[in-house]
Structures are given as structure tokens and as C-alpha cells.
Amino acid sequence: MTQTVIPVFYEAKRGGIRCESEIKEMFNESLFNIQQTINWQNIFYRRQNMAQNKLPEIAPEILEKIKTANALDLELYKQGKKILEKYLSTYNIYQKQQLKFFNLTNNLINKIFPNG
């Protein structure tokens, strides 16, 4: 099941309140988007406390109960992902190159210094 980290911060912008969120499988893109919004200077990070074991298989009927119990969370995740994808689609060529550079550099940092 996909996990989200919501909300990260609120920002008053042009008379409205905007909530930024992170979508776990798009963590770098989320982090970069927040950096672009609030002008963070250094967003590089090293992964820590990474699980080495795979999660156990969950029976389909149990998984369905989990999905039903978390239906509102799943809807919030879907909406957050759409918003993030919308922001990413507005990036100009320079921002897209910066995001690519961030991904490549941060992956290299994590290969050189694995697990913190």
C-alpha cells in the first residue's frame, strides 16, 4: 500500500492558503517542489533506517478490509498526487534539468554513503 506524508507546511500565497505534501514514491519530486516554493538552498539527503526485509504478503481479503477502512486516506493520497503532478507539469526546461540533476546527485550520494 502506498503511504503519504501530509501536510508538510502551509503557505499564504496570493490571499489563499496552500498545503504542500509529499507523495512517498515521488519523494524527490515532492522535496524539489517544496524547495522551489520556499527557496530552500540545500535539499540533499541521505537515506537512513532503510528496511532490508520485504514485508509479508497480505491476504487479499485482509487487504480489501484495509482499503475500505482507509478509503478517505486513499482519496487524499490520490488528490495530493494529482496536485503534485500538476505542479511538476508546469516546470520550465531549467527546472526540469535541476530536478534531474538533484535526482542523479542524490542517488550518487546515497550510493557512496549507504544507510546514513
Q: What is the pLDDT of residues 7-61, one digit of tens each?
A: 333 333 434 444 444 577 888 898 898 888 888 888 888 877 766 677 788 899 9
Q: Assess whether the previous peptide bond of 60 is cis (omega < 30° from 0).
A: no
Alpha-carbon separation of residue 12 from 15, 26, 35, 41, 79 (angstroms): 6, 24, 16, 20, 20
**Distance between CA atoms of residues 66 and 92, nearest Å:** 40
Nearest to 3 by CA among 101, 102, 77: 77
- The structure's pTM equals 0.64
On average, the pLDDT of the chain sits at: 78
Contact 27, 6 (CB under 8 A): no
